[in-house]
């Protein structure tokens, strides 16, 4: 077999990356996303974009993403191939490490083409040393969806003291159903997991002043919600209920409030996500009228 060449791109080689055939049934192309280097107005750095070639033909590709200020990649966005072994070798050779989220259409297991493409990528990611963490639902609320009225069961207040927010997040993460919370606790400890989450929330372009703590009518703290904007637009940044307040359906109240806040600020499209195994939260999204527009499998 012809020798495999694995290397990062250099400036101006976007056409080489896009030369790999892509049916667009899974991955970034599923959402209509296109690859582009920062120098050309895109989001990707050539040194963090790698290809595997045989006789000059791209047989595998991968591109890692980060914000302009980041010194290390935040996510593996693109991972596509026509040669699975070459793809495994590419991920092993590239000195870059970040979570990989495989984007999939809803009900992908019942769609033969999507299932085959998904299983091939998952097998290659696993063979390269990545571990499957969780499967998630991604939702997209639009102005065509219902917008339930606020429940009126909770009172929402801003909290400018970061130390108070840290304490609330730490308590919410106790007995969390979220796989990323549990992974962060295992990796960094409880305090480190709090900082990991707050780092994500504070990196969003939406202001810290939007964050709200929720209280019961008797003044007991019930939860925390963050209406936010990520680089793609409005999103549900975070929703959490304190352990002692669970079982009352307050996560639904927080979701309604968070959505109402974003709509009041002009949002007509709101993204959100939850683990497929987080049955209570998935049920709240369904009740609220958030449609599942995508599934996702996360690897670490």
Domain 155-290, CATH homologous superfamily name and number:
Gcn5-related N-acetyltransferase (GNAT) (3.40.630.30)
- Per-residue pLDDT tens over the stretch 269-289: 999 999 999 999 999 999 999
d(CA 6, CA 106): 33
pTM: 0.93
How far is the C-alpha of 253 from the C-alpha of 107, rounded, in Å?
28
Q: List residues bridging with 113 in a β-sheet.
A: none
Q: Where in the chain is the domain with CATH 3.40.630.30?
A: 155-290
Class of domain 4-130: alpha beta
Whether pLDDT at 297 is above 70: yes
- Tokens in use for 41? 């107005």
Cβ–Cβ under 8 Å, residues 223 and 251: yes
pLDDT score for 263 = 98
Question: How confident is the model over 146-166, as pLDDT tens digits?
Answer: 999 999 999 999 999 999 999
Euclidean distance between CA atoms 84 and 33, whole angstroms: 23
Q: Is 135 within 8 Å of 275 (Cβ atoms)? A: yes
Please say if the pLDDT value at position 133 is more than 90: yes
Which helix (DSSP H) or strand (DSSP E) does residue 256 occupy?
Answer: helix 250-264
SS3 12: coil
Distance between CA 232 and CA 235 in Å, rounded? 9
Q: pLDDT value at position 272?
A: 98
* 41-98: pLDDT as tens digits: 999 999 999 999 999 999 999 999 998 889 999 999 999 999 999 999 999 999 999 9
């Amino acid at each position: 077999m012809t020798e495999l060449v694995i290397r990062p791109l250099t400036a101006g080689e976007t056409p080489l990356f896009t030369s790999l055939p892509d049916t667009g049934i899974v991955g970034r192309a599923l959402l209509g996303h296109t690859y582009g280097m920062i120098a050309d107005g895109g989001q990707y750095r050539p040194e963090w974009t790698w290809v595997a070639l045989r006789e000059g033909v791209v047989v595998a590709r991968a591109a890692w993403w980060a914000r302009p200020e980041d010194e290390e990649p935040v996510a593996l966005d693109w991972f596509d191939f026509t040669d699975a072994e070459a793809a495994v070798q590419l991920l092993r050779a590239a000195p870059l490490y970040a979570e990989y989220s495989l984007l999939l259409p809803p009900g992908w297991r019942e769609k033969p083409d999507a299932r085959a493409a998904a299983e091939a990528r998952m097998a290659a990611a696993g063979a390269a040393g990545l571990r499957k963490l969780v499967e998630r639902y991604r939702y997209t609320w639009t102005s065509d969806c219902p917008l339930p009225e606020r429940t009126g069961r909770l009172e929402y207040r801003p909290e400018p003291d970061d130390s108070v927010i840290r304490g609330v997040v730490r308590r919410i993460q106790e007995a969390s159903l979220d796989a990323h919370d549990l992974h962060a606790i295992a990796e960094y400890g409880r305090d480190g997991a709090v900082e990991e989450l707050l780092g994500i929330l504070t990196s969003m372009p939406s202001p810290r002043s939007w964050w709200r703590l929720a209280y019961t009518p008797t003044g007991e703290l019930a939860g925390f919600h963050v209406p936010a904007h990520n680089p793609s637009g409005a999103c549900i940044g975070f929703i959490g209920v304190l352990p002692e307040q669970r079982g009352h359906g307050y996560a639904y109240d927080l979701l309604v409030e968070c959505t109402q806040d974003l709509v009041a600020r002009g949002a007509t499209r709101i993204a959100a996500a939850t683990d497929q195994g987080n049955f209570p939260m998935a049920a709240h999204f369904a009740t609220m009228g958030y449609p599942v527009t995508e599934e996702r499998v996360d690897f670490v």
